[in-house]
Amino acid sequence: MANLPPYLFARIDEMKAEQQKKGVDIIDLGVGDPDLPTPDHIVASLCEAAKNPENHHYPSYAGMPAYRSAVADWYKNRFGVSLDPGKEVVALMGSKDGIAHIGEAFVNPGDYVLVPSPGYPVYRTGTLFAEGIVHEMPLARENAFVPVLDDIPKKVIQSAKLMFINYPNNPTAAVAPDGFYREVVDFAQEHNIVVVSDNAYSEISFDGYSAPSFLETKGAGEIGIEMHSLSKTYNMTGWRIGMAVGNEEILAGLGRVKTNVDSGVFNAVQHAAITALRGSQDCVKEACAIYQERRDVLIAGLRDLGFEVPAPKATFYVWLPVKDCMAFSATLLNEAGIVATPGIGFGSSGEGYVRFAITRPVARINEAIERMRGLEL
C-alpha cells in the first residue's frame, strides 16, 4: 500500500469539499464527468429492463450475447473493424475496470509496463497492483504528445510485457498522428509486447475530425486489444458500462481475472447500452456541438488572458501550459474557487500544464474567465 498513490480525483474532491464548507461557489473544471444528462431513450430502456425479474439475477461474466453483438456491430459500423462477439468482445464495468485489471493477467513482479506520461492515473496503479514496474513514456509538445519509442531503453524493452496508448488523449487532448499506430504495431510485434489502446474519447471530436480505432491498423488484433466505454459518448459515467475488444487470447486472460473479482454488469444496464449503441447517434452529435461551443469560449477567454493554448480536435479537455502547475491550480482554487487539475497528477511529464474540463455550461466558463482576470497567474 505504501507504493499506491492516492487517487488524483478523489483528492481533488476532498479539496473542493473543503472550499465548499467555507461557502465558496466552486466552478469545477477539474474532473471529466459530463454535466449533460444521459439521453432519454437510454434511460427509458434501463427503466423498462429493470422491471423485468429475469434481469435481477447474476449477469454473464463476459456480458450478454446481445450486448456483445451490439458492440461488434457498432465497431463494424463506426471503424470498419470486424469482431467475433463470442470471442473478441468482453463487457466491462467502464473502461477503468479493464485498465485496472489487465496487468494482473500479463504482468509478473518486476516486469515493466510502458505507460504514457502524462496519462490516465489508472495505467500506473493497475501496474502497481500487479507488482510491475512503471516506465514512463514522455508525451512532449515538441513530439505532438506521442511517445518516442526509440527512446525506450533496451533493458526496459526486454522486460516489458504491456504498453498503454490513449488517443484521443487524456489529459493532453492530442490525437494520434498518421502512422503512429503502424509504428506501435511493428514495435509490439518485434518485442512481444501486449498493447492496450484506451479509446474512450473517440466520439468526442470537433471541426470534422473523426478518431480512428487502433484495431483498424493491420496486425493490431494480433498483439493488442482496445478498451472503450459508453461513459463519455452517452453521458453515462455513473452507469459503469464499457467494453474490451480485440485479440481473443488477451481478452481470455483479462476475463480470467475478472471472473475472480467481479460478477459482471447488471443486465438492465446492458440492455440500455444496447439501445445506445444501436439507436440514433444524433445525441452524440448534439453533445459534441455543445462541447465545441464550450471549447471555443474557453480557448478564446484563455487567449484573451494572454495564454498560448491550442484548440483541441477531440476530448472535452484543454491542456494549458503554465509555469508551475501546482501553484497555478492552488491559486485558482483558493483565490477564485475554480477547480483545474494539475498536470503533475498525470505523471512527471505533466509538470508545466493544467487540465481544464469543458464539462460546465458556457455561462460558468465565462464566469471562470472573469474570476481569473484579477489573479496573478
- The CATH number that applies at residue 302 is 3.90.1150.10
Is 125 inside a domain boundary? yes
Whether residue 228 sits in one domain with residue 83: yes
Q: What angle do CA 254, 257, 262 make, to 5 degrees?
A: 110
Q: Render pLDDT for 168-189 as a digit per residue (tens, 0 to 9).
A: 999 999 999 999 999 999 999 9
Q: Are residues 322 and 344 in the same domain?
A: yes
255 and 127 both lie in a single domain: yes
Of the three residues 237, 257, 278, the one that is the final residue of a domain is: 278
- Asked if 259 and 312 sit in the same domain, the reply is no
Q: 171 and 311 share a domain?
A: no
CA-nearest of 113, 211, 144 to 122 is 113
Q: Is residue 260 part of a domain?
A: yes
Assess if residue 213 is contained within a domain: yes
Looking at the structure, tell me whether residues 210 and 339 fall in a common domain: no
Per the structure, the count of domains in the chain is 2
- Could you read off the pLDDT of 31-45 as tens digits, one per residue? 899 999 999 999 999
- State the pTM of this model: 0.95
Give the per-residue pLDDT at 277.
98
Q: Which of 239, 254, 278 is at the close of a domain?
A: 278
- 377 lies in some domain: no
DSSP 214-226: GGGSTTHHHHEEE
Phi, psi for 226 (deg, rounded to 5)? -130, 135
In a 3-state reduction of DSSP, which class is residue 64?
coil
The whole-number pLDDT of residue 5 equals 57
φ, ψ of residue 139 to 5 degrees: the values are: -105, 105
**One domain for residues 107 and 245:** yes
Report the C-alpha gap between 90 and 254 in whole angstroms: 9
In terms of domains, do 12 and 46 share one? no
Residue 2 has pLDDT above 60, yes or no: no
Domain CATH for 125: 3.40.640.10
Each residue's pLDDT tens digit, 329-374: 999 999 999 999 999 999 999 999 999 999 999 999 999 999 999 8
Please indicate, yes or no, whether residues 302 and 273 belong to a single structural domain of this protein.
Answer: no
**188 belongs to a structural domain:** yes
List the domain range (segments joined by +) for residue 206. 41-278
Is 98 part of any domain?
Answer: yes
Is the domain of 233 the same as that of 325? no
* Average pLDDT over the chain, rounded to an integer: 96
Whole-number Å distance between alpha carbons of 170 and 201: 8
Task: Say whether both 223 and 123 belong to one domain.
Answer: yes
- Choose one of 278, 302, 324: the last residue of a domain: 278
The verdict on residue 73 lying in a domain is yes
Q: Is the dihedral of CA 268, 285, 291, 208 positive or negative?
A: positive
113, 141: one domain: yes
304 in a domain, yes or no? Answer: yes
pLDDT tens digits, residue range 11-37? Answer: 777 878 888 888 889 999 998 999 999
